[in-house]
Amino acid sequence: MAKANFAKDQLKSIVERIERLEEEKAALSGDIKEVYAEAKGNGFDTKIIRKVVSIRKMDSAEREEIDALLDLYLSALGMAN
């Protein structure tokens, strides 16, 4: 019986932690939307900002690989510089 109560308490604790984190995630998501709206209001292109944020998350090797593939695909389509 003690094991069942422990498992029940542990499960409840896990679910409550997840719920708190989901609330924090929703709040952060709202904050991020506000920053993008501010950027847009200041004349910045939010699609480009999102791309910059995405690129900054990558390490240099990953960026180089993506750039090389992009160049390859653009060349194959006759769109290279």
Asked whether residue 8 falls in the same domain as residue 22, the answer is: yes
CB 70 within 8 A of CB 58: no
Range of the domain at 14: 1-42
Whole-model pTM: value is 0.72
pLDDT means per 10 residues, the chain with 81 residues, are 86 98 98 98 98 96 96 94 69
**Separation of alpha carbons 62 and 68, rounded Å:** 10
Asked whether residue 49 falls in the same domain as residue 38, the answer is: no
Q: Dihedral sign, CA of 20, 26, 32, 34?
A: negative
Asked whether residue 51 falls in the same domain as residue 72, the answer is: yes
Asked whether residue 20 falls in the same domain as residue 52, the answer is: no
Please report the pLDDT score of residue 2 as a whole number: 78
Asked whether residue 30 falls in the same domain as residue 49, the answer is: no
Please report the pLDDT score of residue 76 as a whole number: 96
Asked whether residue 35 falls in the same domain as residue 56, the answer is: no
Please report the pLDDT score of residue 48 as a whole number: 98
Number of separate domains in the chain: 2
Please report the pLDDT score of residue 4 as a whole number: 82
Going by C-alpha positions, the residue among 13, 33, 10 that lies closest to residue 21 is: 13
Asked whether residue 38 falls in the same domain as residue 19, the answer is: yes
